[in-house]
Amino acid sequence: MKEEFFVHTLPNGIRCVLKTVRSAVCYCSMTIGAGSRDERVGELGVAHLLEHTLFKGTEKRKAWQVNCRLENRGGEINAFTTKEETVVHATVMRRDFGKAVELIDDIIFHSTFPFAEIEKEKEVIYDEINMYKDSPEERIYDDFEDLLFAGSELGHNILGRKQTISKLQNYHIQSFVERNYTTDRMVFAVIGNISPKIFVAVVERYLGGEKATSREVERSVPEVVGRFDVTKSHPSHHQVRCVMGARAYSLNDKRRLALILMTNILGGPSATSRLNVALRERNALTYCVEALYTPLSDSGMLTIYFSCEKEKLEQCRSVIANEIERMMNEPMTARGLAVAKRQLIGQFAISAENNEAYMLGVGKSYLVFGVVDSTEEVYRKVEEIRPEDIMAVARDVLPSLSMLTYI
């Protein structure tokens, strides 16, 4: 059977992964195993500031030349920062694949981070922080993570704070790059109509000449935090917002897929999720309820979010508690579990049709696991999940839910 992915490791340690598909468009990304949890005291926000300033000039390009390189040809280049990764990604016509790889190499390995550009970009980030503060449905998640991972590098906002960012300089950025942007923690992923032969030639030409580096700093595993129930007053808001959540399995935990399925059944994107049916369809208590599972390299988090009118808060909590009790103690029927599996597999399949999103997932998967499961392998693992597996993960994670409420 033909392999779904072609893998080529460069002499400097950068792993390159290709999925060949019929398309006029090529998607590519460099996933770097460095995010906000890798920041040190006094440099909070530097990973995100670095991501912004990657585009502000290199040894051979001014900022406007970086921006125009692909966009003048109808393509685009962008980046984002998470707690554990920084990703630079580009979308171009197939004919411009080489130009995209060259530009990604240039900004990751040869950015100069000019002082004037850093200062300008700080102002942009201040505005981004203000937008975030005006979005309570986003802010509550960060505040919850601060509590759930208190005392850990995971427990602070990716954007940073204005007073800290204002003090960041070029040397903070350079220090973060030297510590964390190492070739042994990089994966270059591509989905497009590119042959393995051309793929190897292009990545060897543009990425292969970079110096081999390795990461010497190890991340510390976050310590366990006791349960909490915190309420914060936000009198200007028209709704009450609440996040209930707990620590969950890491990316390397074999129970992860069962927890993904359980979370999808409980409060996934479908209108038939148990929480949506119980809270919205049956009782008209809320417009928005969702459950999310976020696995990390050495930890994870499961959350349930909902918003409602203040007088309906306790009723919402009671309904959610009943659904959690059902999930822990009532085994699913064979038919119910079959439907849930079919639903999850369908979501996976539809997501895989988005080549950009799929490419980003491939990069992270290969960074963490050193392999990417085929779609058939993923589907097979989903089909093997039993009713007792669903109950086991529910009983393991759901009883320890903590709570943060905006009133």
For residues 323 and 278, the answer to whether their CB atoms sit within 8 Å is yes
Same domain, 160 and 255: no
Q: Which of 156, 173, 206 is the last residue of a domain?
A: 206
For residue 213, being part of any structural domain is answered with no
For residue 215, being part of any structural domain is answered with no
pLDDT in tens, 229-274: 999 987 767 899 999 999 999 999 999 999 999 999 999 999 999 9
For 169-189, what is the mean pLDDT?
97
Same domain, 35 and 178: yes
> In this structure, what CATH number is given to the domain that contains residue 99?
3.30.830.10
What radius of gyration do the chain's Cα atoms show? Answer: 22
Same domain, 47 and 180: yes
Nearest-angstrom CA–CA distance, 110 and 92: 21
Q: Which of 206, 221, 241 is the last residue of a domain?
A: 206
Residue 101: domain span: 6-206
Same domain, 176 and 315: no
Q: What is the pTM of this model?
A: 0.93
pLDDT in tens, 103-120: 999 999 999 999 999 999
Pick from 325, 326, 340, 332: which is nearest to 383 by CA?
340
Same domain, 174 and 309: no
Environment class of residue 8 by beta-carbon count within 10 Å: exposed (0-12), middle (13-18) or buried (19+)? middle
Same domain, 55 and 128: yes
Rounded to 5°, angle at Cα 172 from 168 and 174: 135
For residue 68, being part of any structural domain is answered with yes
For 329-333, what is the mean pLDDT?
96
Same domain, 31 and 156: yes
Environment class of residue 181 by beta-carbon count within 10 Å: exposed (0-12), middle (13-18) or buried (19+)? buried
What are the phi and psi torsion angles at 295 (to 5°)? -80, 145
